[in-house]
Amino acid sequence: MAKIFAVTFARAGSKGIIKKNIKPLNGKPLLAYSIELAHQLSQVEGVYVSTDGDDIAQVATTYGAQVITRPEALASDQANEWLAWQHAVEYLQAHCNMQDDDLFLSLPCTAPLRAREDIERLVSQFNESTCDLALCVTESARNPYFNMVRLDDDGLTSLVCDAGQFHRRQDVPSVYDVTTVGYLTTARFVLTATGVLSGSTLGVVIPRSHSIDIDDQLDFEFAELLIKKREQA
């Protein structure tokens, strides 16, 4: 049976929120949410954090993750995250007995509201499929066939996707946002492919309330509000 290796990627140089990955969210470092959830998954062989930051590495160790030191070349704003995935898999194969058919689970630390059942569904649906990679999606609040527009040079609007026959939101095709809740694939695919959508990609639908992606301070405050509400329920 394939083993699952869970990895969270956390660069030190976040711009939107300084030291975002270890900023306290409801009294706990943001990074800790991903690590703690990974430890709850019964099939996970090991929990790892790929980082270039000493303070991030210290938090990772405190919460029970093993550290993969990310090269400086893979830690800049312009760095391709897929290359960081490849570096992590190469490390796991060299040092942690990861095999080509073992599963690589990426749990970005910007999605602290993910639930254990979201990732268990991701794993289950991927294992039942013939797809190369599975990721979590959620129904989009905006739809390019109905209420998303582009502006021309004069400021005039036009639909992003103008199919011409939709007059009610209920009639438009459903569209989904890719979330940062979780990505699952094999070590082999990470090493041989070029990106998340470069093969056959399965979308696993999760609730919007679980999919908040923290990019700026407003996202951070909103996530904290939802976490507090969840604790009081």
CB contact set of 205 (below 8 Å; sequence gap of 6+) = 136, 137, 138, 139, 176
Q: Specify whether the backbone of 97 is left (phi greater than 0), alpha (psi in -120 to 50) or beta.
A: left
Contact by Cβ (8 Å): 181, 210: yes
Report, in angstroms and rounded to the nearest whole number, the Rg of the chain calculated over CA atoms.
19
Tens of pLDDT, residues 57-82? 999 999 999 999 999 888 877 778 99
Confidence of residue 12 (pLDDT cuts 50, 70, 90): confident
The helix (H) or strand (E) run that includes residue 10 is strand 4-10
| Residue 174 confidence (pLDDT) above 70 | yes
Mean pLDDT lowest for which of 97-101, 151-155, 178-182, 218-222? 151-155
Please, what are the domains in the chain?
4-137+177-232 (3.90.550.10), 141-174 (no CATH)
| Residue 131 confidence (pLDDT) above 80 | yes
Percent of residues in the chain assigned helix, strand, coil, to nearest 5: 35, 25, 40
Percent pLDDT > 70 in the chain is 94
Averaged over 210-232, what is the pLDDT?
92
